[in-house]
Amino acid sequence: MRYSILSLARNALSGHAHWPRAWRDPPLQPAYDAVIVGAGGHGLATAYHLARDHGLSRIAVLDKGWLGGGNTARNTVTIRANYLREPSMRFYAAGIRLWEELSRTLNYNVMFSQRGQIDLIQTWAKLRDVKRRQAALRLIGVPFEILTPAQARERLPLLAPEAPVRLPVLAASWHPTAGVARHDAVAWGYARAADAMGVDIVQNCEVRSIRREGDRVIGVETARGFVATPRVAMCVSAHAGDLAATAGFRLPIETVPLQAFVSEPLKPMLDVIVNIPQFATYFSQSDKGELVIGGGADAYPSYAARGSFAVIEEAVAAMLSLFPALKRVRMLRQWAGSIDLCHDITPILSPAPVAGLSLSVGWGSGGFKAIPIGGVALAHLVATGAPHPLAEHLLLSRFAKGRPLFETAGASNRL
Ligand SMILES: Cc1cc2nc3c(=O)[nH]c(=O)nc-3n(C[C@H](O)[C@H](O)[C@H](O)COP(=O)(O)OP(=O)(O)OC[C@H]3O[C@@H](n4cnc5c(N)ncnc54)[C@H](O)[C@@H]3O)c2cc1C
C-alpha cells in the first residue's frame, strides 16, 4: 500500500474518513463460475490465482464469519521447507520462493521475515532423523545444515550453557530460508488483490451444505439461499468433515485443538525461530517483542477452540530446561484453534469423489506456510480439473490405494 506521510496525517486527523475501502462488501449473486468456501488464507489465495492466472471472472469466496478469522488468525506463522518426503520438500520449497516475493506480488507488506530456524536435537533418534533429512534436502537444494552444540550456542546466546539437564542438546539443525510473516496481512493482502480483480468476498455467509445432482456438484446452500455453480472448492480447515458429509462422503480427518500463547513484550533478544522437536515446542519473537510460543496438539479430538493446560506446562517446561533465562517472563495471553489432521499428517489437495468439488483440507498445524503455493495449486485444480504437478502427492486417492505419506517432519506431535 503506498501512502505518503501527508496522506497518513490527513487520515489520522479526519477520523480516517478518506481511507479507501480495502475490499468491497458485495451482495451474494445467485450464480458464479466458481465458489470457494472459506475465506482463510487458502480460500483467498485460491480466488486470487483463479482470477489472475486462469481468467475466471465470476468467483465468490464465502465465509461464515469474517475473512482471515479462522486458523489463519490463530497460527504461529512459522514458514519452512525442512520436510522429509521428497514431494513435500519440493512443494514447500516452491512455497518459500513465493513467500520471498509475496509483498511485491500483492503490493501489500506481509512482513515476511526470513530469519531461519534452529531445531535443538536432544535424542539420538531425532539426530538420525535430521541427518536423513539433511541428505534428502540437499538433493533438491534446500539449505539445511547440522550444527554442533557449540555452534548452536553461538547463534543462540540465550541457550543455557552445557548443564546436567535431563536431555542435553546433542546437535542442532539450521534451516536458513525459514521465516515468519504477519498472519492477518497475508489474508488482507490476498483479499484486497482478489477483490480488485472482481472476486466477490461475502462474509457472514455460512455454507450449510453442498448440493449435488447425481455425481456432480451444482451449487451450495448458504445461510442466504442457494447459489448455483459448477465448481466448488472447500477450504474450511477444521470444518471439512461436516461439509463433506453434506455432499455424501467422508474424509480421513480428525479435528483436534492446537494452542499457542505469547509472552509479555521483551526487548529484541531472539532473531531466529527455535524449535524443540522432542517436545513439539517452538517459539520466535514477534516484531512487537512478544515471544510467540506453540506447543503440541491436544491428544483428543474436539471442536473446542481451547486447549488443555497440560500442553502449556509441557511446552514451558521444555523451554525453561534449555532457556532458563526466560523463567521470569510472564505470559500475556493464550488461545487455540481447531486443526484438521489427516491420518498421515499430510494435507489433501485433491478432487473430491463428487465431480466439480475440489478439496484443500487437512493442513493440520502446518497450513499457514502453504498458503501461497496451496493457492496456486488449488486454483490450477479448480480451473483445469487436473492436479498441479507439485501437488500430485496430496490426492485423496492415496488413502484408498494404501499409499499414505506419513510426513514425520510435520509440526504435529502425532508421529
Ligand atoms: C495454534 C496454531 C498454530 C499454528 N501454527 C502454524 C505455523 O506456525 N505454521 C503453519 O504453517 N501453520 C500453522 N498452523 C496451521 C494453520 O493456521 C492452518 O493450517 C491454516 O491457517 C489453514 O488455513 P485455511 O485457509 O485452510 O483455514 P482457515 O484460516 O481456518 O480458514 C477457513 C475459513 O473457513 C470458514 N468456514 C468454515 N466452515 C465454513 C462454512 N460451512 N461456510 C463458510 N465458511 C466456513 C471459517 O470461518 C474460516 O474463516 C497453526 C494453527 C494453529 C491453530
Domains of the chain, start order: 113-178+254-339 (3.30.9.10)
Q: Work out the pLDDT band at 3, boundaries 50, 70, 90.
A: low
Ligand 1 centre from 338 Cα, in Å?
Answer: 8
DSSP-derived secondary structure letter, 191: H
From atom 15 of ligand 1, which residue's Cα is the shortest distance away?
Answer: 365
Ligand 1: residue of 66, 71, 184, 312 to mutate (most ligand atoms within 8 A of CB) is 71
Ligand 1 centre from 367 Cα, in Å?
Answer: 7
- Between 8-22, 160-174, 324-338, 385-399, the lowest mean confidence (pLDDT) is in 8-22
Ligand 1 centre from 68 Cα, in Å?
Answer: 8
Q: b/e string for 186-225 if b means 16 or more Cβ within 10 A?
A: bbbbbbbbbbeeebbbbbebebeebbbeeeebbbbebeee
For residue 265, give the C-alpha cell: 513484550
Q: Residue 369 carries which side chain, given as an amino acid letter?
A: K
Burial class (CB in 10 A: 0-12, 13-18, 19+), 2: exposed
- Residue 415 has a pLDDT of 46
Ligand 1 centre from 210 Cα, in Å?
Answer: 20
Q: Which phi and psi (to 5°) does residue 64 adopt?
A: -75, -20
Q: Which phi and psi (to 5°) does residue 210 adopt?
A: -100, 125
According to DSSP, the β-strands at 291-297 and 281-285 are antiparallel
Arithmetic mean of pLDDT, 115-141? 94
The whole model's pTM is what? 0.96
* Spatial distance between the Cα atoms of 366 and 73, rounded to a whole number of angstroms: 13
pLDDT over threshold 50, residue 31: yes
Arithmetic mean of pLDDT, 360-380? 97
Give me the chain's average pLDDT, please. 94
How many helices (H) and strands (E) the chain has is answered by: 11, 19
Strands (E), 277-395: 281-285, 291-297, 331-342, 348-351, 357-361
- Between 177-181, 216-220, 405-409, the lowest mean confidence (pLDDT) is in 405-409
Q: Residue 257 carries which side chain, given as an amino acid letter?
A: P
Q: Which residue has 525442512 as its cell numbers?
A: 82
Arithmetic mean of pLDDT, 317-321? 94
Ligand 1 centre from 192 Cα, in Å?
Answer: 19
* Spatial distance between the Cα atoms of 4 and 300, rounded to a whole number of angstroms: 51
C-beta separation of 199 from 324 below 8 A = no
Q: Which residues contact residue 123 at a Cβ distance below 8 angstroms, ignoring those fewer than 6 apart?
A: 167, 170, 278
Atom of ligand 1 nearest to the CA of 41: 25
pLDDT over threshold 90, residue 6: no
Q: Give the pocket of ligand 1 (CB within 6 Å).
A: 37-43, 62-65, 69-72, 74-78, 206-207, 235-237, 239, 243, 258-260, 294, 337, 339, 363, 365-369
pLDDT over threshold 60, residue 289: yes
Atom of ligand 1 nearest to the CA of 257: 53
C-beta separation of 82 from 142 below 8 A = yes
Arithmetic mean of pLDDT, 240-269? 96
- Residue 397 has a pLDDT of 96
Q: How far apart are the first and last CA of the chain?
A: 42
* Spatial distance between the Cα atoms of 19 and 10, rounded to a whole number of angstroms: 10
Ligand 1: residue of 77, 237, 242, 359 to mutate (most ligand atoms within 8 A of CB) is 237
Number of residues that make up the chain: 415
Beta bridge partners of 253: 342
Nearest to 411 by CA among 97, 73, 45, 117: 117
Nearest to 255 by CA among 337, 349, 165: 337
Atom of ligand 1 nearest to the CA of 43: 25
For residue 400, give the C-alpha cell: 484408498
* Spatial distance between the Cα atoms of 10 and 100, rounded to a whole number of angstroms: 33
Strands (E), 67-199: 78-79, 117-121, 145-147, 171-175, 179-180
From atom 2 of ligand 1, which residue's Cα is the shortest distance away?
Answer: 75
Using CA atoms of 48, 52, 55, 56 in order, give the dihedral in degrees to the nearest 10.
10
- 231 to each of 61, 188, 362, how far by Cα in Å? 12, 24, 20
